[in-house]
Structure 1
């Protein structure tokens, strides 16, 4: 499974919109299919399109409409669309109103590219859970509703450099769902929307934690392929 391929951006500054689009395109499987500058244009596109976006990135300062009104309109008529607000607005009353509308995430300008990637990873985790599971566990729900920022079990200062707790939980949940299926670093990178080297870092960390085991697959030519499987489901022959 890959991350959403249909992302819209609502931003009246074309330079900012391009930066955000570049960030999105760096996430595997994601394509910005619409760059919109006004509320009117957005509403018309939503009415006409045959393929609704899975995710909309929107500013709150839109020339022809209050951002909160546009968000409310989209949430009311198209509740399946995930809205990520990207704005310089920090007024608590405004943010409270926006959060109450049911937005998926809120990023304050300027923000780091990695922060947007984490938002998309959270979306992927939710998508995987609802599409692949008939029933959920409390741990599944906890991973959706509680991030490491507000429910720290591990002290980040003592955690391994280069390992993000939220991403680590996503990787672990993938293997817990798959159970007996083996994955390579390339396959995992597609699932979590990362580079192959990043995926391998998480895989090797989990091997060290004895959460995963590895096996080498030898082909007719070239180096053997390294695969990873959930601990306890693979026995060495």
Structure 2
């Protein structure tokens, strides 16, 4: 998905330079984003934001920084840069932390290690929302409903069976979409960064709900393989 205008500017806040480089590569792989800064602690981040109050559209924040307690940096950034969108990219899994981040209005919350497919899905959704904001000064109810919706359609969340997680399901759907060709469960597992059994469970769910189709194919040794692909317009 392309930006309707200049690329969106991203600030990365991460104390591990290796992870910062990985995140930067994933962000700039999208094409609609450019990384304009990288900070390794809270002090450096606040100084950057004070020098460039309108210098970034989106920031990727880690929770565990050497000079930051909890989500204090998130709240400080909210106070000094109200137009900045923030995504948490962190190993923090505590429910209280997630709930506080959501109350602070983060755009998304990604748990490390972040799979590239999940990152791209978040970036696609961000472009979709920001493109809508760039198009005009007014918005209708349908556009507003779309902008306020989560990454997963509500109808899909309500009907998910035990063992099928909404965010993971979206990751598998994105992987199938980006493949542009049928995949085996093993191939999908590799792309999504999960086990083959997990990929098979989600694939069978997609087939069972009519969102995907399966067809047999024969490999080199003549054993049939199941190939999966999304139905058109899913």
Q: TM-score over 0.5 for the alignment? A: yes
Aligned residues of 2:13 and 2:59 also touching (Cα < 8 A) = yes
Greater relative CO (CA pairs within 8 A, separation 6+): 1
SS of alignment partner, residue 71 of structure 2: helix
Does 2:46 align with 1:43? yes
Distance 1:3 1:136 in 2: 21
Matched residue, 2:25: 22
How far apart are the structure 1 equivalents of 2:40 and 2:17?
Answer: 8
Aligned residues: 169
8 Å contact kept, 1:9–1:57: yes
What TM-score do you get using the length of structure 1 for normalisation? 0.62
1:57 paired residue number? 60
- CA distances 1:197-228 after superposition (whole Å, capped 9, x unpaired): xxxxx9xx56xx9xxxxxxxxxxxxxxxxxxx
Q: Write out aligned runs for 1:71-82 (5 A).
A: 71-82=74-85
Which residue, 77, 89, 92 being the options, matches 1:89? Answer: 92
1:111 alignment counterpart: 114
Give the TM-score of the pair, scaled to structure 2: 0.63
TM superposition shift of 1:134: 4.1
Closer, same or farther: CA 162–99 of 1 in aligned 2, 3 Å: same
CA separation in 2, counterparts of 1:134 and 1:106?
Answer: 28
1:141 aligns with 2:129: no
Whether the 8 Å CA contact 1:59–1:67 is kept in 2: the answer is: no
1:103-122: CA deviation from partner (whole Å, max 9, x where unpaired): 11100111211211222222
Aligned to 1:32: 35
| More displaced stretch, 30-39 vs 144-153 | 144-153
Task: Work out the CA distance in 2 between the residues paired with 1:148 and 1:61.
Answer: 25
Indicate the RMSD between aligned Cα atoms, in angstroms.
3.2
For structure 1, which runs of at least 5 residues remain unmatched after alignment?
A: 165-201, 210-237
